Structure 1
Amino acid sequence: MKMKELLLFLSCVLCVCADVLHEDIAINACSDSDGEFMYGLDGEEKGYADFNKQEFIYPQPPFIDRTTYANPYEQAVANQQICRSNLKIRRDAMKDIPLEHDAPSGVTIYTRDEVEFGVLNTLICHVTGFYPAPVNVSWTKNEQKVTGSSINVPYPNKDGTFTQISRLQFTPQQGDVYSCTVQHLSLTKPETRLYDVEASGQSDPGVGPAAFCGVGLTVGLLGVAAGTFFLIKGNECS
């Protein structure tokens, strides 16, 4: 099992087989200076403990009929104590095992909604396939750093790596160029993806003329075929 230096990661997965396969997951992870406690379902977060704010966060929008838990933050704090106790035992037992590092296998940037100039939207930076967690994601607008972004807690993939998603609200304007930069301990240099607002807001200029020429060519060929048919019929009648 992959182990991060000074990190213990425990999870349990419940699979229910009916018409659809569901995965209900609980994560309890800790290090000497950080920790994570999260419940998830089918790749989505149901809730997680924010140890800085000292509260349990339900990230779903208010119109969702969400699942809630009794005293979840208190449970998270208790589980962190157990995690750190187990961490000491695992650290001593595995001190000679070399660490494994996987760089992100995919970094993509895209918008939540179709781009309309002047209309509020959300940029999404999707990072997956890395180990250990977490990654650090920073944003720029026209090469200037911007703040106000959010990022979810690391979510495990089936192969043992992780996925994290950072979001930045923005209003598309012509000429603006955004970027998300990903840092991870396995990368020798950060990975950056660019998003050009003007390029994304334009349709392909070749589609219209190409379609028009295609239709014209088809109509022209049909006309030639029809003329040839009637010419042959006329010759047969004479």
Structure 2
Amino acid sequence: MKMKELLLFLSCVLCVSADALHSDIAVGGCSESDEENMYGLDGEEVAYADFNKKEEIYPQPPFIDPISYGEEAYKSSVVFQKTCREIIKLCGKGMKDFPPEQDAPSAVMIYTRDEVEFGENNTLICHVTGFYPAPVNVSWTKNGQKVTGSSINVPYPNKDGTFTQISRLQFTPQLGDIYSCAVQHLALTQPLTKIYEVEASAHSDPGVGPSVFCGVGLTLGLLGVAAGTFFLIKGNECS
């Protein structure tokens, strides 16, 4: 599939070292149909310009001290976009004979935010990573029917130059329901689709996060037992 638009992304990373290392990132990008200005800290999205609502959005959790870039943040993003489009015009003329690079998503995962309980509100998460250029398009279905009301964050850059995006869908688990997220990208000839089925054992199946922590805890426990047995044997030999 040929790319019909030229994409320009500029990023700046600032690291401050004290007792801990923090990474502060600013990303600005534009194409013939898309535009982005985003700020992040330590791999998390802090703020981004919403050019449809014409305001700066701060998707920060309520338990942290809020971070703000001031009243001029959105105006600065608008000015940047004008400059970006002028640069794109110049780059388009100079690079018209160079085919753009495209990387299809390297991984697509679907999982729940919280432990699943029938009849209790939850969130399905479709995690897409390893693609270039940005963005991807994510659509959802429930029992084969398209559903609306999902959300998706702005593309977040990975260390290897590719991008990550996360789409979320609010849902209420009911036995037998089947959900899917379909990912579309310039480098794909057909969508990548992942399925989530609400099964009878869903009420006892935690999300990805709890499973990982349980696995780590079990591993550490087994290592502790093995170490204790080793020192007990050594102690008996010495006596």
Contact 2:38 2:47 in 1 (8 A): yes
| Residues 1:97 and 2:98 are matched in the alignment | yes
Q: 1:31 offset after TM fit, Å?
A: 1.5
Q: How many residues get paired?
A: 202
Change beyond 3 A, Cα 1:200–1:128: farther
Q: Corresponding residue for 1:67?
A: 67
Q: 1:30 offset after TM fit, Å?
A: 0.9
Contact 1:4 1:99 in 2 (8 A): no
Change beyond 3 A, Cα 1:36–1:87: same
Amino acid at match of 2:194: R
1:91 match: secondary structure? helix
TM-score for both structures, normalised by structure 1: 0.80
Mapped partners of 1:104, 1:19: distance in 2: 36
Change beyond 3 A, Cα 1:98–1:16: same
Q: Corresponding residue for 2:87?
A: 86
Q: 1:61 offset after TM fit, Å?
A: 3.1
Q: Corresponding residue for 2:31?
A: 31
Q: 1:4 offset after TM fit, Å?
A: 9.0
2:83 match: secondary structure? helix
Residues 95-104 or 156-165, more deviating: 95-104
Mapped partners of 1:19, 1:177: distance in 2: 47
Q: 1:156 offset after TM fit, Å?
A: 0.6
% identical aligned pairs: 74
**C-alpha RMSD of the superposition:** 1.8
Residues 65-74 or 118-127, more deviating: 65-74
Contact 1:115 1:200 in 2 (8 A): no
Mapped partners of 2:156, 2:18: distance in 1: 24
Pick the structure with greater CA Rg.
1
| Residues 1:171 and 2:136 are matched in the alignment | no
| Residues 1:116 and 2:117 are matched in the alignment | yes
Gaps in structure 2 of 5+ consecutive residues: 206-239
Gaps in structure 1 of 5+ consecutive residues: 205-238
Mapped partners of 1:28, 1:134: distance in 2: 13
Amino acid at match of 1:195: Y
1:74 match: secondary structure? helix
Change beyond 3 A, Cα 1:25–1:58: same
Matched ranges for 1:124-203 at <5 A:
124-198=125-199, 201=202
Amino acid at match of 1:52: N
Amino acid at match of 1:145: K
Contact 1:4 1:132 in 2 (8 A): no
Mapped partners of 2:97, 2:178: distance in 1: 46
CA deviations 1:184-238 (Å, max 9, x no partner) are 111111111111111561659xxxxxxxxxxxxxxxxxxxxxxxxxxxxxxxxxx
Contact 1:15 1:24 in 2 (8 A): yes
Contact 1:7 1:29 in 2 (8 A): yes
